[in-house]
């Protein structure tokens, strides 16, 4: 459903990871590692990564979460990289050709207690809704939790304390 006015918001999530910053960085920078935790599920899934300033990432797939097949397209552009410390990118998410949201994301990595503190901040604008107002924001926030759970799994970790979402 298209919106009369876009919905703006910010989601911030923090994780304390056992892996050192260079391993966490590699999980973002290396397509083989990134595929372990970030991909669009379903048929005809495709994933490309050009991890450099000016590069970006494309992930597409066809799946049917509600019974009807949907083409999901995720496209990003990388604006800033500070090795082992910071990643800044923007992305858009479209479903069946309709742009649902556009976001600016900062991933900050800092050494902490032999591991890494990861701060993920996403400033988003919803341009179309899948359901009722509020559901899409909750879905976006839940997806971030799920995504970082998968990152931990790809790093071979289990987090005892849940992420803190603000």
Q: How confident is the model at residue 2 (pLDDT cuts 50, 70, 90)?
A: low
Place of tokens 């876009």: 6
Q: How confident is the model at residue 54 (pLDDT cuts 50, 70, 90)?
A: very high
Please report, for the chain, the start and end positions of each structural domain, with discontinuous segments joined by +. Answer: 2-62+69-165
Q: Would you identify the CATH topology of the domain 2-62+69-165?
A: Alpha-D-Glucose-1,6-Bisphosphate; Chain A, domain 4 (3.30.530)
**Widest Cα–Cα separation across the chain:** 48
Q: pTM of this prediction?
A: 0.88
Q: What are the tens digits of pLDDT across the range 5-39? A: 888 999 999 999 999 999 999 999 999 999 999 98
CA distance 33 to 142: 22
CA distance 122 to 96: 23
Which position has the higher pLDDT, 129 or 93?
Answer: 93
Burial group, residue 135, by CB count within 10 angstroms (0-12, 13-18, 19+): exposed
Helix (H, G, I), strand (E, B) or coil at 142: helix
């Amino acid at each position: 459903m298209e919106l009369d006015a876009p919905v703006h918001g910010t989601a911030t999530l923090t994780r304390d990871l056992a892996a050192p910053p260079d391993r966490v960085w590699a999980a973002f920078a290396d397509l083989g590692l990134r595929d372990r935790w970030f991909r669009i599920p379903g048929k005809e899934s495709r994933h490309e990564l050009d991890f450099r300033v000016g590069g970006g990432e494309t992930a597409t797939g066809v799946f049917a979460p509600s019974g009807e097949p949907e083409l999901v397209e995720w496209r990003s552009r990388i604006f800033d990289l500070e090795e082992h410390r910071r990643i800044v990118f923007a992305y858009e998410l479209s479903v069946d050709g309709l742009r649902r949201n556009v976001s600016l994301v900062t991933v900050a990595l800092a050494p902490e207690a032999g591991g890494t503190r990861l701060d993920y901040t996403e400033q988003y604008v919803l341009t179309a809704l899948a359901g009722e107002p509020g559901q899409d924001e909750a879905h976006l926030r839940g997806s971030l939790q799920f995504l970082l759970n998968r990152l931990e799994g790809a790093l071979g970790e289990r987090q005892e304390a849940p992420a803190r979402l603000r």
